[in-house]
């Protein structure tokens, strides 16, 4: 995970101060949410491919890659 997850945890009040980083369970929870969003991009891509919308399908995969990079999650 990256700094953005820490910022969001702090903004939400889930993390007030932790010099050692994000608690393991919170980090795992955030990672699972991000991966679910990435999975939805894959579902969207398949829907576009099924309907011969190649440009849109490519866009869905690009969004998935941006999400992974932004939150520091492995694909």
Q: CA–CA distance from 70 to each of 15, 50, 51, 53, 66 (Å)?
A: 20, 28, 29, 26, 6
pLDDT tens-place string over residues 5-62: 888 888 888 877 666 666 778 888 899 999 999 999 999 999 999 999 999 999 999 9
| Tokens standing for residue 24 | 């393991």
- Give start and end residues of each alpha helix (H) in the chain: 3-12, 24-50, 54-71
| Tokens standing for residue 44 | 């969207």
pLDDT tens-place string over residues 61-72: 999 999 999 999
């Amino acid at each position: 995970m990256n700094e953005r997850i820490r910022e969001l945890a702090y903004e939400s009040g889930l993390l007030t101060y932790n010099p050692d980083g994000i608690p393991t369970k919170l980090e795992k929870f955030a990672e699972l949410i991000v991966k679910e969003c990435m999975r939805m991009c894959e579902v969207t891509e398949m829907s576009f491919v099924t309907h011969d919308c190649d440009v849109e399908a490519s866009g869905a995969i690009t969004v998935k890659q941006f999400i992974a990079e932004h939150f520091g999650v492995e694909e």
